[in-house]
Structure 1
Amino acid sequence: MKNIIDRHRKRGARWIDHKFTIMHFHLRHKSLFSLILSVFVLLSLKSSSVAAVPFTKTASRTFASINKQAPSLATSSTTTLTQRGGSTAVMTQESADLPSAVKLLIGAGGIYGAFLYYGSLQEDVFRYTAEDGTQFKQAWFLQVLEALANVVIGFIGMQLTGATKGIPQQMFAISGAAQVSAKACTSLALANGLSFPVATLAKSGKMAPVMLGSLLLGGASYSIREYLQVAAIIGGTAIVSMGKKKGESSSSTLGVAYIVLSLALDGVTAGFQKRLKSETAKAGVKPKPYDFMFWTNLYMCLSAVVVSLVLNEVGSGLAFCSANPEILSKIIKFAICSAVGQSFIFYTIANFDPLVLSTVTTTRKIFSVLLSIFLKGHSLSLTGWSGIALACGGIISEMTAKMGGKAKPH
């Protein structure tokens, strides 16, 4: 009799805990969606007053080339509007409501907050273990949800800022497919045992395949410093991968293979994005930031849907999330952070030079690595820490080189 009573008590406790989790989940996400709506209204108002510029999801790399075409987004927009309407136009761009320091705090703080949490959630998703011992492996299903969140925000922004007509779609489709494949391979690397710090450092070396492609296909040349930067990042990443303390699981061969494939796809994506810019220029159209966000993520989402259906990840992913509401909460927040982070990228590039954005996104990667090590229980030996220092040195060297190159023309 006592055993029966104990069983009923346990069932009741589990039922109460389950109901409390669901209620807490809904309350948290109501506040999250309210925050997103407020942020989006602010960003869309700022973005709508800025001249249309090409934008891709790999913003830190693309905006550097855009800056060569347009001297300054803020200056260009102010000059054009001043010719139309005098003082009112100046107030639109040189907004007196917030000083530059506060705007930088908003933009950089939003990027840091969204993408640091994004990285933490991504790691949590692939380290999660259910009660039966199974883990979440549906990387393509995760890309469907992430791209879908960006499509929604991109569509709303495109409607508020005005959609650009006549945009060539073919290169958007190819670029989107390549980009989502690179992101899926990163997730698959994490799902197959590669640690988050190693994966993040490795992705910081994406300039390596870009350089290789340019050398082989474009006849480009690079300085010794640029070669050393790439070597430092790659070498440091390799040292970190091998520098774990005893008892720590080593990175799997499959995980390493996926991150290498992701880097190769980054190089392919960069080539397609250059062609995308030339195609839009030939068509005589200038897509706005939210045009790029919507169309790129739409094709990313469609590509991910096709692959996930072929691999039967939609059904298995939904079943896993249904059985484990905790991971569903993390996945939803992960997708939301991606969309919010992109909106803060728009805000930052609308108010500052592209170099500022590049600096913020580059240093964010370093902080993501350090936060993962300190908060997620990664244990590194002295060799591992030396690898961290070497890779971070390469990343910082790349950033300072861009700053020096930007300063020379002035």
Structure 2
Amino acid sequence: MESHVGGLRRVLVLAFCVAGIWSAYIYQGILQETVSTKRFGPDKKRFEHLAFLNLAQNVVCLLWSFIMIKLWSSSSSGGAPWWSYWSAGITNTIGPAMGIEALKYISYPAQVLAKSSKMIPVMLMGTLVYGIRYTFPEYLCSLLVAGGVSTFALLKTSSKTISKLAHPNAPLGYGLCFLNLAFDGFTNATQDSITVRYPKTSAWDIMLGMNLWGTIYNMAFMFGWPRASGFEAVQFCKQHPEAAWDIFLFCLCGAVGQNFIFLTISRFGSLTNTTITTTRKFVSIVVSSLLSGNPLSTKQWGSVGMVFSGLSYQIYLKWRKLQRMQKKRKPA
């Protein structure tokens, strides 16, 4: 009876995590697309300073992580010092800024799809730099994802979608997305090395350190060199409170989403989290297409299917590998 109740509780917690991640990030995607494409106020002006979204999210997540550490953290020492995040903070500032900036040039579904191909630069770097050899199924996954993204990029985007973009330019938009992925790869590797060097570092510590440096770098960029566009962004928000509210909700969704990701990883492992976030990206494309007026053609939906078939197969391969490792650990 106790095991049955425990199993039910575990299923309910997992359902809670899925609902939290999906709702937070799908709604954040809708807000991100709204801020990048909508014309605000009677003057019908666009919010051109999309990099300001990163600064705003850094500040909200910094405050959020600080509060969480004070409320829940059980250890006050042994974690990584704040200055150890400076290099990862640079790439974590530049990468997401490029991803958001890409929304000026390509649609939100195209951006999500391009950013779903993270495994491609990881495998390329592993093969070229470290001489890692991958299995045929892993190459097949990469081929499906690369083929799907490439086909989607080559297919003609509807005129309705193009009319919503500030500066339609597909090659530049996809280029910014792939640079975003490259910087994300360095960020993840640096975070892994920090947790190895400082084992007592918690997820909240990492969130605090990353967003602290992100705030510093983005403040310098937005309010210093080269154009001090942060002042223009703040002025726009004062003149268009609707835009300011959307930006605040965007940041809040990011903070809440990170909470559910940390909860999922701590309770169910990174593989479960990868599965949830991957399916969330697919649902984001569907929701965007239905609600935001970005209709996809049948061929484009075929490309989306190729990408998520590759990602799903990759998740299955990881699950099978994990099952084999667990069997080896069991005593005979």
Q: TM-score, normalised by structure 2?
A: 0.87
Post-superposition offset of 1:375? 1.4
Q: Deviations over 1:275-315 (max 9, x none)?
A: 323332xxxx4111211111111112211111112241210
1:274 partnered with 2:187 = no
> Which of 339, 361, 381 is the equivalent residue of 2:297?
381
Measure the CA separation in 2 of the matches of 1:272 and 1:304: 20
Q: Deviations over 1:63-86 (max 9, x none)?
A: xxxxxxxxxxxxxxxxxxxxxxxx
> Which of 157, 166, 174 is the equivalent residue of 2:68?
157
Post-superposition offset of 1:96? 6.5
Q: Deviations over 1:348-396 (max 9, x none)?
A: 2232233221211111111111111121111222221211111121121
Kept in 1: contact 2:117–2:149 (CA 8 A): no
Amino acid at match of 2:222: S
1:239 partnered with 2:160 = no
Structure 1 partner of 2:87: 174
Change (3 A) 1:266 1:367: same
3-state DSSP class of the match of 1:137?
Answer: coil
After TM superposition, the structure 1 = structure 2 runs for residues 91-170 of structure 1, keeping only pairs within 5 Å, are: 99-130=9-40, 131-160=42-71, 161-162=73-74, 163-165=76-78, 167-170=80-83
Structure 1 partner of 2:165: none
3-state DSSP class of the match of 2:39?
Answer: coil
Structure 2 partner of 1:24: none
Change (3 A) 1:96 1:156: farther
Kept in 2: contact 1:210–1:270 (CA 8 A): no
3-state DSSP class of the match of 1:139?
Answer: coil
Structure 1 partner of 2:216: 302
Change (3 A) 1:252 1:323: farther
**Structure with bigger gyration radius:** 1
Relative contact order higher in (CA < 8 Å, ≥ 6 apart) = 2
Measure the CA separation in 1 of the matches of 2:56 and 2:299: 38
Measure the CA separation in 2 of the matches of 1:307 and 1:164: 32
Kept in 2: contact 1:186–1:259 (CA 8 A): yes
Change (3 A) 1:408 1:96: closer
1:201 partnered with 2:113 = yes
Change (3 A) 1:213 1:376: same
Measure the CA separation in 2 of the matches of 1:231 and 1:137: 35
Post-superposition offset of 1:218? 1.6
Kept in 2: contact 1:244–1:379 (CA 8 A): no
Post-superposition offset of 1:199? 0.7
Q: TM-score, normalised by structure 1?
A: 0.71
Kept in 2: contact 1:362–1:399 (CA 8 A): no
Amino acid at match of 1:275: S
Deviates more, 1:285-294 or 1:332-341: 285-294
After TM superposition, the structure 1 = structure 2 runs for residues 2-401 of structure 1, keeping only pairs within 5 Å, are: 99-130=9-40, 131-160=42-71, 161-162=73-74, 163-165=76-78, 167-190=80-103, 192-244=104-156, 246-248=158-160, 249=162, 251-280=169-198, 285-309=199-223, 310=225, 311-401=227-317
Measure the CA separation in 1 of the matches of 2:28 and 2:149: 21
Q: Identity of paired residues, percent?
A: 29
Kept in 2: contact 1:241–1:251 (CA 8 A): no
Q: Please, what is the CA RMSD of the aligned residues?
A: 2.3
Kept in 1: contact 2:49–2:233 (CA 8 A): yes
Amino acid at match of 1:368: S
Kept in 2: contact 1:137–1:188 (CA 8 A): no
Amino acid at match of 2:288: S
The count of aligned residue pairs is 313
Change (3 A) 1:98 1:228: closer
Kept in 1: contact 2:78–2:200 (CA 8 A): no
Deviates more, 1:357-366 or 1:163-172: 163-172
Measure the CA separation in 2 of the matches of 1:166 and 1:287: 4
Post-superposition offset of 1:251? 4.6
Q: Deviations over 1:141-169 (max 9, x none)?
A: 11111011111111011112143345244
Amino acid at match of 2:98: C
Which consecutive unaligned segments of at least 5 residues does structure 2 have?
A: 163-167, 328-332
